[in-house]
Structure 1
Amino acid sequence: MTTKDLNAVELEIVRNRLTSVSEEVGTALIRTAYSPNIKDRRDCSAGIYAPDGQLISQAEHIPLHLGLMPTLIAAAIKQFGSEKLEPGDVLMTNNPYLGGAHLPDVCIISPVFAGDEQIALVATMAHHVDVGGMTPGSMATHSTEIFQEGIRLPPVRLFQRGELQRELLDVVVTNLRTADKTRGDLMAQVAANRLGERRLLELVEEWGTDGFERSCRALVEYGERRTRAAISALPDGTGEFTDILEHDGIGPAELRISATVTVSGDEVTIDLRDTSDQARGAVNCSFAVAQAAAAYVVKMLADPTLPSNAGLTAPITLLTRPGSLVHAEFPAPVAHGNTQTSQRLVDALLGAFEEFTEELVPAASSGSMSILTVGGVDPATGRYYSYVETYGGGQGAHPDQDGANAVHTHMTNTRNTPCEVIEREYPLRVEAYRIARGTGGQGRYRGGDGIERHITVSRGTASVVVGTSRATTQPWGLHGGEAGTSAQVNVCRGGEDLAQPAMTAFDLSAGEGVSIRTAGGGGYGSCQNTDESETRKAAR
């Protein structure tokens, strides 16, 4: 490939070949991971970046990870010092204040050198089943500072010139409950990155170093042109919307997420500065999480086929207030900023776009990733275990079709853990797993139904953390569509189902269980063909 400007055919070749490398890296991670959370649920993401952290290409994995990784990687490279990187180095970090998500999401970054010249970075992010902290699974809802959530890693070398830094790895895994799973998953990330390095060097051998760099630049420029054209097709205007997160992780609360969205020509400005201050509990999120939500919503509404690279975010200006719920500062806890707040932020952004667009925005989906962690010591083996899973819910109805049942929506894109895997890997028994029929909101197009799952501890005792949302509010409908049914959490003891708050922690003994029903999606349009007023059943 020459260094001349790329034509349309060459651009598509570059786009697809780099995307295929990202996808292969992600597939390798999934196939070699140790924990069901990665190998079955696929709670991981992969991408290719320029040496400064600019996003070049990424796999179709988890929107939250994919949207925040460029911020985290750029900040990590800057803090560590790109001039210090050598061939064979591998960095790792999980620091949310640098642009990470929460502590279980560990990012592994590998520089790619062609000779003495660094040409790219390959990076993977994966949710590890335990990184220490006050509860098994490292997802406490009731933490009040970051130190209670687990071990926090600055950008450090896990490998230096190809040599594993064993002392550092020993320090990390000594602080974890499931050291074997974490060690295996980290090595799977490293191996996947190395595969990505080989594939990129194969492209360099074919295209040359100059051709590779020019191709990456051309792809980002193409992404920006496509994004600006898609934004230009949206109506100009300004919309405002406020949604409420009803629990701060410690107790009931009314945490305001306020969004003002302005589309002007080929640019979008999103202002979140009127959002509530950062919370005392674990529902805060980093600035990078807010960036991820903003990029996701713009791509979703403008053109879902837009290339996922740095060009996508170039026309988007995001305004936040440091110290707020969506721009948390040290030492705010952040474990559930992903699972709860990012989803509600998407709802607020969609509500704002609905103010000045027509038949574009869907009704609200279930509004939570609905995470359940169960952990303890298995008496049969004497070893710690940690079951971690997020549950799908109802998708909001669209202007032209029903919402899907029992799916992950918006900022999450994981699969479920098969019941057989849960019962094989952990001292747990799945009593029920089904669609929660009738929980979607009615309308001309109805919202999708949520999910029900009931899990019983089969032996020993276990610590349980449940984090869901929309338990005291409902996912709103649009244009006369009804709201979805709220979520519900129960402890199952002595033949009784005892209702629990949306975000809670408790212990269970053998024979006791937990059940969760996730919220349904909102409906769209009145069931009658008469007046369809601009009603929106927002959470209050």
Structure 2
Amino acid sequence: MAKNITTDPITLEVLRNALQSVAEEMGAILTRTALSPNIKDRRDCSTAIYTPRGSLVAQAEHIPLHLGLMPTVVKAVLKHFPAEKLAPGDAIIINDPYTSGSHLPDICIISPVFYGRRPIALVANLAHHVDVGGAAPGSMSTATTEIFQEGIRIPPVKISSKGHLNRDLLRVLAHNVRTSEEFYGDIQAQLSANQVGIQRLQELVRRTGMDTLAYYMDEIINYAERRIRAALEELPAGIYQFYDYLEGDGIDEELIKITTTVEIKDGTARVDFTGTGPQARGPVNATRGVTLACVYFAIKAVADPELPASEGIARAVEVITPPGTLVNPRFPAPVAHANINTAQRITDVVLGALAQAAPHRVTAAGTGSMSNFTIGGRDNRGRYYSYVETYGGGQGAKYNQDGLDGVHVNMTNTMNTPVEILELNYPLLVERYGLIPDSGGPGKFRGGTGLVREIKALEDATVSVSTERNIRRPWGLQGGAPGKSSRCYIKLPGGTRQEMPGKFTRSVPRDTAVILETAGGGGFGNPRDRSPEAVRQDVRSGLVSGEAARKQYGIELDEELN
């Protein structure tokens, strides 16, 4: 690297935005060329750029959970395939959670970027595939007790070598999944996204020069570190503790404690999960990579929400995850539903601790789960299908704003599958989809409402549902009331309706309907301090009933609103 380069703020910002744009374009290519609705419609994926050493430089604004996961997997892969030993046209595939930090449906593809013979960067993307084998369609069974039951594990291996696709490996992988056609299409989309990233970075280095680009990639990370440290300096120094519970592991219903101690001091944060319960028998264990992602998100959201994602955030945050616990399990513990539920609870406890330091920067608890809903089997032509979706719910309110209704919160940011797309691609019928009145926690500022979706299976199928806040409602802040709990029901063909636990996997006959109601968000402040006009508007919008307006808010409505 040239020794006479000095940091110019304008150049830094121009190149930071240029690299961010490359990551965003990679994401656009991935979602526009993918085959499965889970990626092309729901956008359950992320794209990013790294230094040749594996340090995150820029990440597209997709899914917060991947903020900590993707750097984990890239650095792990570099231990097996150092950048200097790779060649142009190479691409590495991996999904093993005990290397990548995620769960098996999240398949990551990493490609080196060369200019001449010199590696100048790495590009990577991570996408949730609708099936990777295992005990149940969608590879999201709630009843697994070891990772071997959750699907095929892919160690770091080359899917492409010097531009030549490893078709034998692809055949082996596709042979072990139910939806092989979608698998092939989505893998090709991932490879295409990386190829676009490679081309754009090569174009950029032709304009800047290799030394300049390498220098500013490091400076972007240094800039993020300076900003997060400055933001942490603004928070009151101190030690803050909080705990909450996960509602069972899918096998046992016993509550599992997650506790954290957050110490803010001298522009740093130390987050310690000592005291958290031991790793679970069921598939809710969160690898350290998942836990890191949750911590980085919560710190960033409270200290500096506008800070671009990069390695710099991690430099100011120490995270302690005792081995053998729910937040850092030992192999071969199952992990499929940690992303869905445990990640959200880890985030809740970190935010709960930070609320003591900065109450006006933290929302009340949200819906508390990504609420996974999976139905799979064979359609009337005998072809395997797998519908996978995570559902939104109520966002927690904050000191000056109501929570949003029926949205994804905290660690997830996917879109919904439109009803027309769902019914076109799968033997399913959507019978109901909407917001749930009175599910948002009352407060001076109301928590967001949960949503309900009722789906009928038109053929025999296997259903897996995994949600939280079925027992312990999303907490409010500063006198705000908790949001309404989640609920799940199965309506059998004869009309019998059964209430189900928050986590289950079971076979159902054709014409069975599954109804999932997600939790609302907690309220902020005393409900009696809410503006009467805001309550009336809630009633007009169907978000609050007239009875709740009287009982919770003490508002007598005009006759035309009753």
| TM-score past 0.5 threshold | yes
Q: CA deviation at 1:496?
A: 2.7
Q: Which amino acid aligns with 2:354?
A: F
Q: Which amino acid aligns with 1:462?
A: A
CA distance in structure 2 between the partners assigned to 1:393 and 1:253 by the alignment: 24
Q: Which runs of 5+ in 2 are unaligned?
A: 531-562
Q: Which runs of 5+ in 1 are unaligned?
A: 531-540
Normalising by structure 1, we get a TM-score of 0.96
Q: CA deviation at 1:360?
A: 2.3
Q: Are 1:404 and 2:408 matched, yes or no? A: no
Q: Which amino acid aligns with 2:384?
A: Y
For 1:316-368, what per-residue CA distance to the aligned partner results, in whole angstroms no more than 9, with x for missing partners? Answer: 00011111101112100000000000000111111111233332221100000
- Per the alignment, residue 513 of structure 2 pairs with 513
CA contact (8 A) 1:99 1:289 kept: no
Q: Which amino acid aligns with 2:482?
A: A
- Per the alignment, residue 464 of structure 1 pairs with 463
- Per the alignment, residue 535 of structure 2 pairs with none
CA contact (8 A) 1:320 1:326 kept: yes
CA distance in structure 2 between the partners assigned to 1:424 and 1:357 by the alignment: 47
Q: CA deviation at 1:253?
A: 1.5
CA distance in structure 2 between the partners assigned to 1:154 and 1:273 by the alignment: 30
CA contact (8 A) 1:463 1:507 kept: yes
CA distance in structure 1 between the partners assigned to 2:109 and 2:178 by the alignment: 21
Alignment of 1:185-334 (within 5 A): 185-334=186-335
- Per the alignment, residue 499 of structure 2 pairs with 499
Q: CA deviation at 1:67?
A: 2.0
Q: Are 1:479 and 2:478 matched, yes or no? A: yes
CA contact (8 A) 1:40 1:415 kept: yes
Deviates more, 1:364-373 or 1:70-79: 70-79
Q: CA deviation at 1:11?
A: 1.3
- Per the alignment, residue 52 of structure 1 pairs with 53
CA distance in structure 1 between the partners assigned to 2:214 and 2:257 by the alignment: 44
CA contact (8 A) 2:486 2:517 kept: yes
- Per the alignment, residue 383 of structure 2 pairs with 383
Q: Which amino acid aligns with 1:472?
A: I
Q: Are 1:105 and 2:115 matched, yes or no? A: no
CA distance in structure 2 between the partners assigned to 1:356 and 1:119 by the alignment: 41
Q: CA deviation at 1:246?
A: 1.1
Normalising by structure 2, we get a TM-score of 0.92
CA distance in structure 2 between the partners assigned to 1:358 and 1:509 by the alignment: 49
- Per the alignment, residue 434 of structure 1 pairs with 434
Q: CA deviation at 1:86?
A: 1.2
Q: Which amino acid aligns with 2:454?
A: H
CA distance in structure 2 between the partners assigned to 1:296 and 1:359 by the alignment: 17
- Per the alignment, residue 87 of structure 1 pairs with 88
CA distance in structure 2 between the partners assigned to 1:226 and 1:268 by the alignment: 14
SS at match of 1:400: coil
Q: Are 1:136 and 2:113 matched, yes or no? A: no
SS at match of 1:429: strand
CA contact (8 A) 2:242 2:352 kept: yes
- Per the alignment, residue 535 of structure 1 pairs with none
- Per the alignment, residue 123 of structure 2 pairs with 122
For 1:456-485, what per-residue CA distance to the aligned partner results, in whole angstroms no more than 9, with x for missing partners? Answer: 012x21100000011111000111110000
CA contact (8 A) 1:113 1:120 kept: yes
- Per the alignment, residue 19 of structure 1 pairs with 20
Q: Which amino acid aligns with 1:218?
A: E
Q: CA deviation at 1:83?
A: 4.1
- Per the alignment, residue 538 of structure 2 pairs with none
For 1:417-448, what per-residue CA distance to the aligned partner results, in whole angstroms no more than 9, with x for missing partners? Answer: 00000100000000000011210100111100
CA contact (8 A) 1:249 1:282 kept: yes
Alignment of 1:313-392 (within 5 A): 313-379=314-380, 381-392=381-392
- Per the alignment, residue 533 of structure 1 pairs with none
- Per the alignment, residue 538 of structure 1 pairs with none
Q: CA deviation at 1:82?
A: 3.5
CA contact (8 A) 1:238 1:355 kept: no
Q: Which amino acid aligns with 2:138?
A: G
Residue identity over aligned pairs, in percent, reads 49
CA contact (8 A) 1:95 1:152 kept: yes
CA distance in structure 2 between the partners assigned to 1:364 and 1:529 by the alignment: 20
Q: CA deviation at 1:529?
A: 5.1
Q: Which amino acid aligns with 1:314?
A: R
CA contact (8 A) 1:363 1:398 kept: yes
For 1:33-69, what per-residue CA distance to the aligned partner results, in whole angstroms no more than 9, with x for missing partners? Answer: 0000000000000000011211011100001112211
CA distance in structure 1 between the partners assigned to 2:139 and 2:429 by the alignment: 22
For 1:138-191, what per-residue CA distance to the aligned partner results, in whole angstroms no more than 9, with x for missing partners? Answer: 001110000000000110000011001111111111000000101110110000
Aligned Cα root-mean-square deviation (Å): 1.3
Q: Which amino acid aligns with 2:474?
A: P
Q: Which amino acid aligns with 2:316?
A: P
CA distance in structure 2 between the partners assigned to 1:245 and 1:498 by the alignment: 23
- Per the alignment, residue 536 of structure 1 pairs with none
CA contact (8 A) 2:235 2:357 kept: no
CA distance in structure 2 between the partners assigned to 1:363 and 1:431 by the alignment: 31
CA distance in structure 2 between the partners assigned to 1:495 and 1:251 by the alignment: 29
For 1:100-159, what per-residue CA distance to the aligned partner results, in whole angstroms no more than 9, with x for missing partners? Answer: 210000000000111111111000000000000000000011100000000001100000
SS at match of 2:395: coil
CA contact (8 A) 2:481 2:523 kept: yes
Q: Which amino acid aligns with 1:448?
A: G
CA distance in structure 2 between the partners assigned to 1:502 and 1:263 by the alignment: 35
Q: Which amino acid aligns with 2:10?
A: V
Q: CA deviation at 1:312?
A: 1.4
CA distance in structure 1 between the partners assigned to 2:358 and 2:162 by the alignment: 53
Paired residues in the alignment total 528
Q: Which amino acid aligns with 1:113?
A: F
CA contact (8 A) 1:99 1:287 kept: no
CA distance in structure 2 between the partners assigned to 1:434 and 1:121 by the alignment: 42
